[in-house]
Amino acid sequence: MTVKILIRYGEIALKGKNRNMFEAALRRNLIRAVHGTGTAITRIHGRFLAEGPADKQQEIISRLRKVFGVVSISPAATAALGMEEIQSAASQLVQTLPRSLATFKVEARRAKKTFPLTSPEINSQIGAFLLSSYPHLSVDVHQPDFRLEIEIGHREAFLYTGRYAGPGGLPVGVTGKALLLLSGGIDSPVAGWMAMKRGLSIEGLHFHSFPFTGRRSQEKARDLCQKLATYSGKMTLHMINVAAIQQHIKESCPEPMGIIILRRMMVRLAEAVAANRRLQAIVTGESLGQVASQTLESLEVINAATNILILRPLLAMDKHEIVSLAEEIGSYNISIQPFEDCCTLFLPRHPLTRPRLKAIEKAETALDIPRLIKDAISGLESVRVPSL
Ligand code: ATP
Ligand code: MG
């Protein structure tokens, strides 16, 4: 038994070349998402069609719903292109619905414009047929209990009564590549997810302070990557040990400046990794005003350490909005597991909230920055992380 699933995609504003690129990327990502389920993906009348084994329907649906660019999907019954065949498919479909759904509306659409009946004619013929066959049904065009949608394709007709929402957005890969600064917290995985939603393909970079932080912090970053990979396919995760850098900062710089100087070191390291991997931007989970290092002044001083573009998708979001998105994505339960972040290790008692660039730059003269960067980068570890 084969199940057929119609896949709708959006961003109708896209035209011409962009549209082709969008569709090609979406197709690749759909194929990757259903890999191993025995499902084929084809193009039909402005949609994609997934055809796979019926016993894997739920699995296929749940995977397709994680592909960015997908607006909604509908498992559909099919019929040959004749009114009798469509009627009998409609009848079978109605029989699978609970009898409590008593009002309905038929909504037909034609991709094949040579089909002998117009859409309104299909609506009224199929509607009348259902009314005569099922006395418990009546029509309600405004607030029906169910909509029977019929799409007249070029080779067959598709009938369905429901839509599952997809994540929307743009297919991963169409807008470029970026490096996600991935801590073990709640925010950064959500930031990565949002960047992917706008079509960025993401690699992760995690900073740890082994042996001051346990292996667990690295495993956590890996687990979070694995979760993100369910939306994007295999992800590369880079890890850099910043223990030596933190020690130097602690020894040589004023304590209240510790975090901001560490952040500046992080973006310099990120810039080096991004250049090496040909990634065009850095993505962070910073949100304005959330903690001391996330004031406008701090963000400005962090930006000044690098020339690479820094994207902050969570900038304007409230914590509770970020948390509910994290729950939806499935990263929340991983993020809340206890762990030591490298940043919490040498946390100053009174971190600066309004750092001044001049003063920070002066404090940094106590550090041999090029050497520290070089040493840290030489210990870079990279792994490929498969999806969960
Ligand atoms: P998160 O929940 O993502 O850790 P946060 O609200 O705790 O964010 P900070 O700890 O100030 O905020 O970190 C701000 C951003 O800096 C993070 O969202 C992340 O992008 C980056 N970052 C912080 N610590 C690390 C780390 N250990 N490795 C990689 N990136 C980090
Ligand atoms: Mg954090």
Evaluate if pTM is beyond 0.95.
no
143: left (phi over 0), alpha (psi -120 to 50) or beta: beta
Q: Is the pLDDT score of 273 beyond 80?
A: yes
Give yes or no: residues 331 and 187 share one domain. Answer: yes
Residue 171 maps to a domain: no
Q: Which of 17-31, 85-99, 259-273 has the lowest mean pLDDT?
A: 17-31
Residue given tokens 């709708």 in the structure block: 8
Residue 23 belongs to a domain with what CATH number?
A: 3.30.2130.30
Residue 288 maps to a domain: yes
Q: Pick the atom of ligand 1 nearest to 343's CA.
A: 24
- Ligand 1 pocket, residue 331 CB under 6 Å: no
Residue 371 belongs to a domain with what CATH number?
A: 3.40.50.620
Give yes or no: residues 8 and 117 share one domain. Answer: yes
Would you place residue 343 in the very low, low, confident or very high pLDDT band (cuts 50, 70, 90)? low
* Number of domains observed in the structure of the chain: 2
Cα of 380 vs centre of ligand 2, distance in Å, is: 21
Q: Pick the atom of ligand 1 nearest to 293's CA.
A: 11
| Residue pair 218/367 in contact by the 8 Å Cβ criterion | no
Q: Is the pLDDT score of 29 beyond 80?
A: yes
Q: What radius of gyration, in Å, describes the C-alpha atoms of the chain?
A: 27
Quote the pLDDT of residue 344: 66
Give yes or no: residues 230 and 100 share one domain. Answer: no
Shortest-distance Cα residue to atom 12 of ligand 1: 286
Give yes or no: residues 227 and 349 share one domain. Answer: yes
Give yes or no: residues 72 and 212 share one domain. Answer: no
Residue 255 maps to a domain: yes
> What letter would DSSP give residue 257?
G
Domain span including residue 81: 2-165
Ligand nearest to the CA of 180: 1
Residues 145-156 pLDDT 10s: 999 999 999 999
Q: What is the mean pLDDT of residues 187-201?
A: 97
Which residues is 148 bridged to in the sheet?
106
Q: Can you tell me the distance from the alpha carbon of 315 to that of 202, in angstroms, rounded to the nearest whole number?
A: 18
Least Cα distance to 385 among 228, 165, 235 occurs for: 235
- Cα-to-chain-centroid distance, residue 186: 15
Given 122, 139, 165, the domain boundary residue is 165
Give yes or no: residues 139 and 201 share one domain. Answer: no
Give yes or no: residues 294 and 314 share one domain. Answer: yes
**What's the whole-number average pLDDT of the chain?**
94
Q: Is the pLDDT score of 291 beyond 80?
A: no
Residue 207 maps to a domain: yes
Residues 235-253 pLDDT 10s: 999 999 999 999 999 999 9
Q: Can you tell me the distance from the alpha carbon of 225 to that of 203, in angstroms, rounded to the nearest whole number?
A: 9
Give yes or no: residues 123 and 266 share one domain. Answer: no
Q: Is the pLDDT score of 293 beyond 60?
A: yes
Give yes or no: residues 196 and 282 share one domain. Answer: yes
| Residue pair 353/295 in contact by the 8 Å Cβ criterion | yes
CA–CA distance from 294 to each of 184, 284, 299 (Å)? 17, 11, 6
Given 142, 165, 188, the domain boundary residue is 165
| Residue pair 380/277 in contact by the 8 Å Cβ criterion | no
Q: Phi first, then psi: what are they for 176, rounded to 5°? A: 130, -170
What single-letter amino acid sits at 315? L
Given 165, 192, 213, the domain boundary residue is 165
Cα of 182 vs centre of ligand 1, distance in Å, is: 7
Quote the pLDDT of residue 338: 84
Give yes or no: residues 188 and 268 share one domain. Answer: yes
Give yes or no: residues 29 and 145 share one domain. Answer: yes
Shortest-distance Cα residue to atom 23 of ligand 1: 183
Give yes or no: residues 134 and 181 share one domain. Answer: no
